Structure 1
Amino acid sequence: MTETNRKPLILVTNDDGIKAGGLVALVKVLKEFGDVVIAAPNESYSGMAHAITVKHPLYAKLVKDKKGLKLYKINGTPVDCVKLAINQLLDRKPDLVVSGINHGANSSISLHYSGTMGAAREGALSDIPSVGFSLLNYSYEADFTKAAEIARDVIKNMLAQKLPQGAYLNVNVPDGNEVKGLKTVRQANGRWVEEFIERKDPRGRDYYWLTGSFKNLEPDATDTDEYVLSQGYASLVPCQLDSTAHALISELKSYETSHK
């Protein structure tokens, strides 16, 4: 197969581990579009954001190798998986990095905590069109049928029209089989109201379990991911690597000093 007519190479990962139902559903769709290489964590790494492993070595075990599909099991975070695949495991740069389908929402501020979205961000850092998919259902028995359909539509468009450099996509899908469609919106302004459950271990030492609830700080806004999800639509939020608050640059000129 020549350079011009070879199939797209799609790198897939997640943060729920190689046995997660969302990964299985996603790979089934991606095989329709090209050759698929899965580089996924050996266990759940939810909430790892953009964490990387620096204190112990990484191991990649080739679990499956057949025409059009390879599966590597890696003892690292989702970002580790993407880094290792791009730099060591693949014989060429992938055409897409796809992460998910996550078990649970990564809308609004949650994308900053998400290992799923960390992996998509890492793909964008290597100038590869990247996307993370999430379903608003935390159960491992969740039905990913509609989320897979949404993923199919998004992947088709991403292959047809490359994202601008530094951009990546965050897609969240409501639970159930009555999803009305997909809306492109902005990230809602929200935050997690965090609480810690305090307990004592058998030796009398205090320990803490993190819990909490999400609070939408703009519940009346109709152009956000939280709103369209509540209306039965999947949300597509375009994200970017540039974290600069551009509107503040001129305002903060007053901070400037000159040292000789």
Structure 2
Amino acid sequence: MTKKKPTILVVNDDGITAPGIKVLLEVMQEIGEVVVVAPDSPQSGMGHAITIGKPLRLDKIDLYPGVEMYKCSGTPVDCVKLAVHKIFKGKKPDLCVSGINHGLNYSINVLYSGTMSAAVEGAIEGIPSVGYSLDDFAYHADFEHTRVWVKTIAEQVLKNGLPKNSLLNVNFPNKSVEIKGIKICRQANAKWFEEFDERLDPYKREYFWMTGNFDLQDRGEDTDAHAINNGYVSIVPTQFDMTAHHVIPELNSWSFDIS
């Protein structure tokens, strides 16, 4: 008896024509039956935004031979929601993979990332989910060296499952780095220090262009940043319960008596 192939939902935030998603869907085709739902235009930095108050469009397209693909007018999270409820019609896929993102999503970037938010939405739906990102922002970034790692991580998730309400955040060094292996890490402590370049449009109206510098404040050797900087693929087990559990005892010691 032939074993049924797993169903795999492929999403991203760079848009349906991005080179990173092409590599991801090709690798997933080696493992299972693939359905792609991705934004019709780049949606980087959208975080967990959803579309409210305007229509969402979902159109089937023939971009790559033999792949069931849909472009969505909404955000990465919208893509997952529509996939689960309208394409899979509530029968959830066996795996949700997001990416491969053009640019790292390590440390604090996980909060801003549309790539990771799509994977988070998959986990919220109860689907084992993984977000993949590469240390290269170029449109024509070389993803070839990630293929074997993308595949083995996905296979391990399908084989072992993931604990409830968790997912994996995976980041790869760029092509110039020889990958030494995988490190299971924690999220590094870092932040962006933004600057806003003031400019004038042709009508002399002021506008702002956000720039900034990434400040890695964490020198620990068990972080995703340290792994990437030392030639390893980083895997951070991630959760969407944002409760600061360690603060609860402190707050319980406060007095909220208003009598």
| TM-score, L = length of structure 2 | 0.94
Name the SS for the 1:250 alignment partner. helix
Establish whether residue 200 from structure 1 lines up as the match of residue 203 from structure 2: no
Aligned to 2:67: 69
Specify the code of the residue in structure 2 equivalent to 1:210: M
Distance in 2 between the 1:65 and 1:195 partners?
39
Question: Residues 35 and 68 of structure 1 are in contact (CA less than 8 Å); yes or no, is this contact kept in structure 2?
Answer: no
Aligned to 1:142: 141
| Number of residue pairs aligned between Structure 1 and Structure 2 | 257
Distance in 2 between the 1:63 and 1:119 partners?
20
Distance in 1 between the 2:87 and 2:119 partners?
18
Measure how far apart 1:68 and its partner are.
6.7
Distance in 2 between the 1:90 and 1:66 partners?
20
- Identity over aligned residues, as a percent? 49
Distance in 1 between the 2:67 and 2:34 partners?
5
Distance in 2 between the 1:249 and 1:126 partners?
27
Q: Deviations over 1:130-175 (max 9, x none)?
A: 0100000011111101222211110010010010110011000000
Distance in 1 between the 2:62 and 2:73 partners?
16
Gaps of 5+ in 2: none
Name the SS for the 1:175 alignment partner. coil
Name the SS for the 1:86 alignment partner. helix
Runs of 4+ in 1 over 2 A off after TM superposition: 64-69, 254-260
Question: Residues 31 and 68 of structure 1 are in contact (CA less than 8 Å); yes or no, is this contact kept in structure 2?
Answer: no
Gaps of 5+ in 1: none
* 1:6-17 aligned within 5 A: 6-17=4-15
Q: Deviations over 1:11-60 (max 9, x none)?
A: 01000111111000011110111110000000100000000011211111
Aligned to 1:129: 128
Specify the code of the residue in structure 2 equivalent to 1:202: P
Distance in 1 between the 2:258 and 2:156 partners?
51
CA, structure 1 residues 256+9, in 2 after alignment: closer, same or farther (shift >3 Å)? farther
Specify the code of the residue in structure 2 equivalent to 1:196: F
Distance in 1 between the 2:190 and 2:222 partners?
14
Name the SS for the 1:255 alignment partner. coil
Q: Deviations over 1:96-116 (max 9, x none)?
A: 110000000100000100000
What do you get for the CA RMSD once the two structures are aligned?
1.9
Specify the code of the residue in structure 2 equivalent to 1:59: R
CA, structure 1 residues 171+59, in 2 after alignment: closer, same or farther (shift >3 Å)? same
| TM-score, L = length of structure 1 | 0.94
